[in-house]
Amino acid sequence: MPVLHNQVANDELKRRMLAESAPRTTLSFYKYFRIDNPQAFRDELYLSMSELAVFGRVYIAGEGINAQISVPQHRFEAFRTLLYAAHPALDGVRLNLALDDDGKSFWVLRMKVRERIVADGITDPTFDPTRTGHYLRAEQVNAMADDPDTVFVDMRNHYEYEVGHFEHAIEIPSDTFREQLPMAVEMLAPAKNKNIVMYCTGGIRCEKASAYMRHHGFEHVYHVEGGIIEYAHQAKALGLPLKFTGKNFVFDERLGERITPDVIAHCHQCGAACDTHVNCLNQGCHLLFIQCPACGEKYQGCCSEICRDEKDLPVQEQRARRAGRENGLKIFNKSRQRLAMDLPRRQPGNPEE
């Protein structure tokens, strides 16, 4: 029976990927469509992608597929042929190519069956996810960005919004997409007669969010085709001014791709202009936060003096020190309601931020 999951240690897989000389292309795609047997679809697709040495993260559910992957460049056309033939609904599906790509984004293929490809918390049986808002291409996005009767809504998490967003876009300050949906309806109620433009990284969240807004009576709803990634590709190809400022956060080893040179975020430790996300090198913490090079050197890649002093200790001593400490709450909160930490982090809402 063929192996349908990875059996090699992560460290070894990462070492192999970094040693590769053949270039790779990072891309993402999604599609909402009905899959009658998600597990069988997953197993067949896993075997086919594995044969092409595809790495990445793929979620499959009865409602469709959501993928962020890297493909060897010399096998890109073979991959596209494979994908387009995997299901009639995937024939011609848009592939969002990464904007700032060294090909070192993933080192293993993980493909999982889930209840939803995006956890939305929607239980209303009358909700129709296909009744989405109108797609907007880059030139239309720019025109609406200059329209005072249009509201741009960012459907991503706070740590994504913090390093880059469309000009004057509204942030929905909640911790999860399922929380954002009802909050967006409430926050945008005063703007119900205005144009509502929703956007996210690659389009998957804002497409469903636009359907949710229409379900709640909003009629002038739009979403950016292909999200930030496709918008930037189109705008650059057409020579249009970029209305998105800063960096686009991505969920792979890169943690971000540059859209414009602007740095709109700050180091969470000293407040210097910086938009580089890192994970705390203390493996007992692994906090995702923004750190400038100076603080990286000072704290040795850690989020605090405590983590810096602990990271190289024997594992048993690290565990003893963490015993009874609320490390479980020490996370990069996705909303603007950040938890106090033992590092001099700038508080949200400050004019400088």
Q: Which residues are the active-site residues?
A: 200
CB atoms within 10 A of CB 64: 22
CA distances from 85 to 54, 90, 207 (A): 16, 7, 24
Contact yes or no for 35/64 (Cβ under 8 A): yes
CA distances from 243 to 21, 136, 220, 259, 291 (A): 36, 14, 21, 10, 26
Which letter does DSSP use for residue 22 in this model?
Answer: S
Q: How far apart are CA 54 and CA 94, in angstroms?
A: 18
The residues pairing with 290 across neighbouring beta strands, listed in sequence order, are: 277
Contact yes or no for 275/263 (Cβ under 8 A): yes
Q: Is 171 helix (H, G, I), strand (E, B) or coil?
A: strand
Contact yes or no for 93/29 (Cβ under 8 A): yes
Q: Which residues touch 313 (CB under 8 Å, ≥6 apart)?
A: 321
Q: Is 295 helix (H, G, I), strand (E, B) or coil?
A: helix
For 229, the token pair is 């990634």
Opening angle at CA 178, ends 233 and 288, nearest 5: 65
Please name the helix (run of DSSP H) or strand (run of DSSP E) that holds residue 228, with its range, or none.
Answer: helix 227-238
Q: How far apart are CA 334 and CA 311, in angstroms?
A: 25
Q: How far apart are CA 194 and CA 107, in angstroms?
A: 44
